[in-house]
Amino acid sequence: MARFLISVMPFTGHVAPLSAVAAELVRRGHDVRVYTGSAFRGRIEAVGGTLVPWRAAPEFDENNVSATFPRLVGKKGLSQLLINMEDLFINTAPKQNEDLDVEWARQPWDVMVSDEASIAPALFAERTGCPWANVAVLPLNLRSAQGPPTGIGLQPGRNPLTKARDALLRAAVPLGSRPLRAPTERARVALDLPKATPAYDEAVFSRQLIIASGIPALDHHRTDRPAWVHYVGELTSAAKVHPLAELPPWWAELHGRVIVHVTQGTQNIDPEDLIRPTTEALADRDDVLVVVTTGVHGRDRLPFPVPANTRVAGFLPYAELLPRVDTVISNGGWGGVLAVLARGIPLVIGGGDLDKPEVAARVAGAGAGINLRTGTPKPKAIAAAFDRVRTDASFRASARRVAAELAAAGGAPRAVELIETLLP
């Protein structure tokens, strides 16, 4: 038995794949502690892990992050991204390290595993020298000499003009990340580390082992990834990693119907962005049943009237829902997209903020869906994309090809095999 500490930012989309890794480590007989928000205690304990809650680091509600980090109020787009990274992922790092120091003093671990969002695990590994692996729960955001910079939602150039565009954008990356340099240096100084540091988007990644969710087809088939990067497909667990959502009273209506699932995940969940225009776009489609999840437990209603062919729930168990679904319309949360593609279902994606435009571009690049190129699409655009996905067989064929590749990548068992290579 070895001891593992998993450090993961307290967001459902981050905790869920790391919970699958925790479950597999526990299944192999290891001791597993998970450092994250106390709201995820049930999920962690359900897979046999021990929660180490944020104490010095500030707890927050993922559905209302701005209540704890008020600079995010009203922010979207690039300003939201930069404030999100500075306030959540950098400025909390010293307090996260304070929590980790307490737990390390109580009982050291053999290997630390983390997501790639916060810089805190990188700083802790630098200070202590403990072996450290990333599990990338977002589209892999390593710098590359191929295609455009990741994160901006562009397809790789195919001709001299667009390839030159990509090269210029790659050269501009250091300028774009410059606002994060000063807060990163302040975090390092607070932990008695020297100021000199690589850029934030390089510093958060381990140079020992990076386990990337997804497959090369969802990374534009870049060929210059380091040797310590391994793709493992979708990270799920056979264990019940969260309480099964109670099925709504209208569940029986799904039988024999063409189901279109609409979701905006658990962040940026204003239903006016994607849910409302989608329900309006499909309101006259008597042949489909539109199933909406709001992303908030208990929020089973929308703040506006819904068409007769629409049903609403806060959360629904994907294991029960997705086998019934024909098409998904999503804002592009990476974990949800992988779950959908793993079942060979094509998507229409309206990705507006954070990593969502990048997810949309990657799905479109793999041929498995349509990128609406906005987080607030009009009903007419949604209807046209939906009709195209349903009538053009190439989208479903590509989604099924991606599903086969995701299954072959090995998932959580393969991830844990790789993590165990770091044991002394």
- What is the average pLDDT value for the chain, to the nearest integer? 93
| 251-408 has the same fold as 3-233+409-420 | yes
Q: Could you tell me which residues come within 8 angstroms of residue 82 by beta carbon, excluding any fewer than 6 positions away?
A: 179, 180
Instruction: Identify the band that residue 411 occupies on the pLDDT scale cut at 50, 70 and 90.
Output: very high
Region 205-228 average pLDDT? 97
Sign of CA dihedral 37, 41, 46, 51: positive
At 22-40, the pLDDT tens digits run 999 999 999 999 999 999 9
**pLDDT at 242 exceeding the cut of 70:** no
At 162-196, the pLDDT tens digits run 999 999 999 998 887 888 999 999 999 999 999 87
Region 293-318 average pLDDT? 91
Tokens read off for 17: 């794949």
pTM of the predicted model as reported, rounded to 2 decimal places? 0.92
Tokens read off for 397: 């064929």
Q: Which of 46-55, 233-242, 293-302 has the lowest mean pLDDT?
A: 233-242
CA–CA separation, 49 and 125 (whole Å): 21
CA–CA separation, 327 and 320 (whole Å): 15
Task: Give the residue extent of every domain in the chain.
Answer: 3-233+409-420, 251-408
CATH number of 3-233+409-420: 3.40.50.2000
At 106-123, the pLDDT tens digits run 999 999 999 999 999 999
CATH number of 251-408: 3.40.50.2000
Max Cα separation, the chain?
Answer: 64
pLDDT of residue 81: 79
Burial (CB count <10 Å: 0-12, 13-18, 19+), residue 222: middle
Q: What angle do CA 206, 125, 97 make, to 5 degrees?
A: 120
Half-sphere exposure of residue 106, counting CA atoms within 13 Å on the CB side?
10
Region 151-170 average pLDDT? 94
